[in-house]
Structure 1
Amino acid sequence: MPSYELNITFDAAGLSALSASGQSVSIVKQSAGGKPTAWITFTPQMANSITWTEQYSVYSSTTNAQSGAVIVTSSEATAIGGSSYTLNTAGYFDAGASGVVGPTQYQIVNNDPSLIISGTAMVTAGLVQGASVNGTTVSAPICAAGVLYNQTALFTPIETIQVFTSSYSNNGIVISQVSGNALTVQYTTNTTAGITYNDQQNQFILS
């Protein structure tokens, strides 16, 4: 499975500005299906390395997928692209047949009527991905979608990320929209990218 790397550099002035404003670095991983989350949020150093592999888990949660919510997963299962995963009445995932969706897609079926969010039989579901941030392993949802009982949801992760500074303090926070000054980094031809924080414009630029 492919591995990817993002290197982020700051100068002393940039780190000082973020510290004074109480901001961190947030990374959104793009996915077709579900609301975006601040997948990774961390306090930066002058040199930062974030690495991840193209490996996902499906998850379910009874956290309401509203803006600002931190998704707390209740069940997870390692997933393979092109497969369907059914949330059964015990609250766990059964793997369905592979090849039922596109090879880079992941399907979740909610067959558990006992899970309730705000009085409605539904779950919040999506994909979880792990990463290493300056040597520390993290794992959090990259998207979140409400899935009613007896319905399905389809997710297609994309190797494109958006990086910006924010006041978020947790991984996996549901966001209504990505910051307007976020830098988009596409991993279409390369698996490694480098960006720098411009403390004059207070945003990231490609190195």
Structure 2
Amino acid sequence: MSQQFNLKTVFTNEQLNILYVTGTNVIIGKPSDGRPTNVAWQVFKPLQTNLFSWKEEYGIYASAADIRNGAVLPQLSNTPIGSEIGKQYILQPSGVIAGPMSGGYPNAFVLLNQFGSKPYMTAGLYQNAIINGTEIIGNAVSATPVLMQSAAVMSPSTTLHIWLQSQVISNSVVTTITSPITELKFGGNVTEISITYDSATGKFVPVKSGALKSASEPLNYIEPNL
């Protein structure tokens, strides 16, 4: 059974009022394959205390969407792949994703594109999550272009990126990030992290109660990519 991870995020009432007036939401993404986050996995309007949880179980999808800022990622084909890593899947000429089968890479999921109706497709991983008690099914966590007869190699990550931004929606491409990203390093013994928003820096910081649960340097910061 896959391990569950939990993130608690806290805001003050004053912060919530400002976020509401400015139409600003919480954005959660995941880096993949050593590249910066380019998909808004989950976007939500925050409450005073927010509980976000997920398991390291994935699906793989193919989309005809272009990878441009703001593009929604409708899944033309998808299949759950669980947590069994190192397998290959094939996007067949029919548009069906077949697999798993041998021929993959260690620590990655592979999708071979044999769908000939377009010169390239967008492929990625999707993952379920629970936000404040509501289950969100099937939102993309990554997106990469893959040519006909080429393979997308997708390495999952337990690291989260969280930041605040307006005019961003869930399950969409986000290549213009306008505020600092707080990087949260889950994995191993780190299954729960509690953070609070610091208005002065635009970053999230550990809750002083010590709920980080171990990790050396579990938080890192990435500046906006303007």
TM-score by length of structure 2 reads 0.84
Deviation for aligned residue 1:67: 1.5
| Equivalent residue, structure 1, for 2:219 | none
SS of alignment partner, residue 32 of structure 1: coil
Q: Quote the residue 1:165 is aligned against.
A: 164
CA deviation map 1:142-179 (0-9, x unaligned): 11111111110101011111111011342122122545
Distance in 1, Cα, partners of 2:34 & 2:78: 18
**Separation in structure 2 between the aligned mates of residue 157 and residue 41 of structure 1, nearest angstrom:** 20
Aligned partner of residue 139 in structure 2, secondary structure:
strand
Tell me the C-alpha RMSD between the 2 structures. Answer: 1.7
The alpha-carbon distance between structure 1 residues 12 and 172, as it changes in their structure 2 partners (threshold 3 A), is same
* Equivalent residue number for residue 183 of structure 1: 182
Residue 105 of structure 1 deviates from its aligned partner by: 0.8
Any stretches of 5+ residues in structure 1 without a counterpart? none
Structure 2 alignment gaps of length 5 or more: 208-226
Question: Match for residue 203 of structure 1?
Answer: 203
Alignment of 1:12-51 (within 5 A): 12-32=13-33, 36-51=38-53
Aligned CA distance change for structure 1 residues 33 and 60 (closer, same or farther; 3 Å): farther
Percent identity of equivalent pairs: 27
Amino acid at match of 1:204: F
- Rate the CA distance shift 1:192–1:98 in 2: closer, same or farther, 3 A: farther
Amino acid at match of 2:13: A
Aligned counterparts of 2:31 and 2:156: Cα–Cα separation in 1: 6
Q: Which is worse superposed, 37-46 or 192-201? A: 192-201
Rounded to whole Å, the distance in 1 between the matches of 2:199 and 2:100 is 49
Q: Distance in 2 between matches of 1:99 and 1:150?
A: 14
Aligned to 1:131: 129
- State the alpha-carbon separation in 1 of the partners of residues 167 and 77 from structure 2: 24
CA deviation after TM superposition for structure 1 residue 98, in Å: 4.0
Partner Cα separation in structure 1 for residue 167 and residue 53 of structure 2: 20
Task: Using the TM superposition, give the Cα deviation of residue 137 of structure 1 relative to its aligned residue in structure 2, in angstroms.
Answer: 1.1
Letter in structure 2 aligned against 1:128: Y
Give, as a single letter, the amino acid of the residue that structure 2 aligns with 1:167.
S
Question: How many pairs align?
Answer: 201
1:71 — aligned with what? 73
Q: Secondary structure at the match of 1:100?
A: coil
What's the CA shift for 1:17? 1.1
Q: Pick the structure with more strand per residue.
A: 1
One-letter code of the match for 1:12?
A: N
TM-score w.r.t. structure 1 length? Answer: 0.91
Distance 1:165 1:173, change over 3 A: same
Q: Counterparts of 1:135 and 1:99 in 2: how far apart (Å)?
A: 39
Contact kept? 2:29, 2:141, Cα under 8 Å: yes
